[in-house]
Amino acid sequence: MIVERAPAKINLALHVTGLRTDGYHLLDSLVVFADCGDVLRFEPAQRLTLEVTGPMAKGVPTGAANLILRAAGLFGPDKGARITLEKHLPHAAGIGGGSADAAAALRGLSRLWGLPLPAPEALLSLGADVPVCLSPAPQIMSGIGERLTPAPALPACHAVLVNPRVAVPTGPVFAGLARKENAPLEAPDWQGFTGFVTWLARQRNDLESPARAFAPAIGQALDALTGEDVPLARMSGSGATCFGLCETQAQADATAGRIAAQNPGWWVRSAPILS
């Protein structure tokens, strides 16, 4: 059996810098991954099947619409594998759950079948976030997701992830952008946790405003993250998951515990940022 993890993707900053004539938005984003997420298992089989288990399994499609099966199709037809997805991340949450699962499927099936990964342009057919999810290292993602650059070393930091159990579709959020051409990220420049947070505070998530208009609960999640141990809170991706950064795991655990106790219906996790 082959096992691959699909960690949660966090857009610490997400700038929308333009709109192509084909409708694709141009992005400039600092992407990191948290040490929590889904788990995929792969076993040899005569035909290709997908089973979904775990606390977030409800509502996950198991047919041709699932990105895992679409990823498998990039290797060619008539290949068999028994795939089990243990689902822990919420759906339509702005933390790359489906894209991370597809990337993990590509890695796992490449190992199972002894085949190279599909061409980069094929990966984009699965979605703009799939290429960046192939590696859990911090990266600068630009273009429509095809240009990836390793980010400078990050200080040790920990994330509190909060989703108010609101699904936010990406299309309406992008459609709600008041301005499509915005300034890119500043050149990465930080020293230590304080310097990192100071740099991040000057960046943005351009999708946060239209997402909050679509789902006001995002504002409630950001308010809940406010505290002296959380010097920066922001929405990830197109929402509705928000994150707060803490310097220590103890601070992150305490913040997550407080928020979960006050909001028992929300999805709340604390985890270190993978480096």
Residues marked active site are found at 9, 129
CA pair distance 262, 221, nearest whole angstrom: 11
Task: Find where tokens 């609960």 sit.
Answer: 217
Considering only CA atoms, which of 124, 97, 102, 84 is closest in space to residue 36? 97
Considering only CA atoms, which of 142, 113, 143 is closest in space to residue 45? 113
Kindly report the length of the chain.
275
60 neighbors 52 (Cβ within 8 angstroms): yes
142 neighbors 27 (Cβ within 8 angstroms): yes
CA pair distance 162, 1, nearest whole angstrom: 32
CA dihedral 105, 149, 169, 35 (to 10 degrees): 60
